[in-house]
Amino acid sequence: MWELFTDPSNLIFSISLCLMFLLGLLECLMLLMGSTTQGFLDQFVPDSLFEADHPDVELNPDQSFVVQLLDWLYIGRIPVLVWLIIFLTVYALFGFICQAIFHHFTQSYLPLWIIAPATLFLCMPLVRLCSAVIAKILPKDETTAIYSDELIGLTAEIILGEAKLNYPAQAKVKDQFGQIHYILVEPESNLIFQPGQFVVLTQRTNNGFQAIPT
């Protein structure tokens, strides 16, 4: 068993397990000091992902593949530190199991340059499954509920893509409680809203809101 952990072909998996334990230890130490690493890690995640499971939010299909992949992996739906621990654990254990099975039949291990990327690709559905289970278990932050119609009349900012009639773009709007909502916005008439432009929400649509320039 020890040979499995120390073999050079399995070095990346041993490092992953060590990182997982170090992250857990670091977080425990930070909590003892009255702090946490969570806020530091969250700043590297796109803001839209933290609202991806909000009922008012639909990820823009024009968003980059990377953002859609991160949302698929539940990054932002659970604390980033928790997701990292899940990923490192699943990646390491999946790799060790694959190598142990291969060694059982061939008495050798797959080369690191083959097994490392293959495991990274193959373990992602399992990482997503574990993240989805944890997302259901972890308590949600309490927020002030607001109906979507209450956003009508507020000023939103276009943040991603050009908004055209029947082709909405992603925007963000702050409600009366100071909460940020990520929504889809399109103009009422044959106009084009550019990223960074501020608009006033006028009515609901099937996909989001219509708006007029400020």
CATH of residue 174's domain is 2.40.50.140
User: Can you give the pLDDT at residue 129?
Assistant: 94
Mean pLDDT of the chain: 81
In-domain check, residue 38: yes
Q: Domain span at residue 95?
A: 2-137
Residue where a domain stops, chosen among 113, 137, 161: 137
Q: Based on the domain organization, do 28 and 103 belong to the same domain?
A: yes
CA 40, 42, 45, 48: dihedral to nearest 10 degrees?
Answer: -140
In-domain check, residue 142: no
- Which residues partner with 15 through β-bridges? none
Classified as helix, coil or strand, 18 is: helix
Alpha-helix residue ranges (DSSP H) falling in 43-186: 47-50, 65-72, 80-106, 112-122, 124-137
Q: Based on the domain organization, do 107 and 15 belong to the same domain?
A: yes
Q: For residues 195 and 184, what is the distance between their CA atoms, to the nearest angstrom?
A: 13
Residue 9 has pLDDT above 50, yes or no: yes
| Total tally of structural domains belonging to the chain | 2
Residue 57 has pLDDT above 80, yes or no: no
User: Can you give the pLDDT at residue 71?
Assistant: 81
In-domain check, residue 143: no
Kindly report, residue by residue over 26-43, the tens digit of the pLDDT.
Answer: 877 876 775 555 555 655
